[in-house]
Amino acid sequence: MSDETADVVIIGGAAMGSTVAWFLSSRSDFQGRIVVIEPDPTYEHASTALSASCIRHQFSNDINVRMSMFGTTFVQNFRTALGNHPDVPEIALKEIGYLFLAPAETAHILKENYAVQSACSAATELLSPDDISARFPFYNLDGIACGSFNQNGEGWFDGYGMMQALKAAARRNGVSYRTDKVISFQHDRRRIASVGLASGAAIRAEWFVNAAGRHAADIAKAAGVHVPVEPRKRCLFVFSCATELGQPMPLTIDPSGVHCRSDGKWFLAGTVPKDDRAVAYSDFDVVYEEFEDMIWPALAHRVPAFEAIRLERAWAGHYAYNTLDQNAIIGPHPDLENLVFANGFSGHGLQQSPAVGRGISEWIANGRYETLDLSPLGYDRVLSDAPFLEKAII
């Protein structure tokens, strides 16, 4: 079987891969052939499909703030960005906001993060307990010294719908999607020549993008390199409350680590597991003990109305977790110069996928970042074991 040829091969066709494909195929200065390899076009277990689809600007690093701010703008102007094609839907963005709560001993972190966010022109506000009570009287604020809140561009959106619309738009631009799995690479230690697929086919190309989500480490290993990314399970729980709060609840991050938000007439909650470690790719079992032992007690303390709630449903998904610093790895490998990473987003990939797609398309087309410099998230820090830590991970 002779090799197929392309200009760019994107490994992974969920939100990250499809966003890269759309941005690159939409550039007037790039006319190459793009092939996206996706082993499961149903996306049943993809992080995109199982995500809570939230977006926020409240991070500790300015690069993450700016990436997510662009994500908000992109979602708000989605139909226009995609050329107002009649098949492109509006993507709903529910701007209910994020509210971080902190006790006295960690209040300085919120204040430091607020300074970073303000320098990026994010609309974050620092709130005293009295300020919080005035806006959201349903909270019990015992032990809370301050909060940070932003309702301008923060909330949740239809991330799965965005991904499917970008995939369809990329196809209209001529991008080919192929149901297959990358199992090998051919390279000379400087450049990759081709990928081998499970079907027995091979594709030669000039560029290869690892957008494989929780499988990123396997793809990197097949190319002979390392990315510190592993699948970590996160369970999400939907519940109803016997007493109405009287207003939507922003996505609230409690000092306990529990987070919760309104979701229509219900609420959506989750937390970081006590035993937070890598799980099998097939492990999507819901850990109901997290709700009983960790989430409900914390919520009932913080919101007295949550003493009387009923669990309605639950599911589990995987973070593509970067064990080095919980930050994305974006851009080319320093030795395999035509291997480009878009990996390790640790739970905030969906909201940042527009900025990543734009940045990687710039790099492939012109060899540089033209809008937002993503180089602080480059691969070099993996080689030098130099974490670029993101403190605001949920």
Blockwise average pLDDT, block size 10, the chain, 394 residues: 86 98 97 97 95 96 97 97 95 96 97 98 98 98 98 96 98 98 94 97 98 98 97 98 96 98 96 96 98 98 97 98 96 96 96 98 97 97 94 84
Q: Which backbone phi and psi does 334 adopt, to 5 degrees?
A: -70, -25
The SS3 call for residue 65 is helix
The pTM for the full model equals 0.96
| pLDDT for 2 | 58
Q: Which backbone phi and psi does 340 adopt, to 5 degrees?
A: -115, 135
- Asked if 309 and 261 touch (Cβ cutoff 8 Å), the reply is no
Both structure tokens of 222:
């097949």
Distances (CA, A) of 349 to 115, 117, 142, 291: 23, 19, 33, 25
Q: Which residues of 341-352 are buried (b: 16+ CB within 10 A; e: fewer)?
A: bbbbbbbbbbbb
- Asked if 181 and 153 touch (Cβ cutoff 8 Å), the reply is no
| pLDDT for 117 | 98
| pLDDT for 277 | 96
Both structure tokens of 184:
């090998």
Both structure tokens of 252:
């609230």
| Rounded distance between C-alpha atoms, residue 220 and residue 384, angstroms | 17
Nearest to 251 by CA among 131, 156, 118, 393: 156
Distances (CA, A) of 329 to 35, 110, 116, 128, 158: 22, 25, 21, 36, 24
Nearest to 219 by CA among 317, 349, 320, 346: 320
Residue showing tokens 């999400």: 236
| pLDDT for 261 | 98
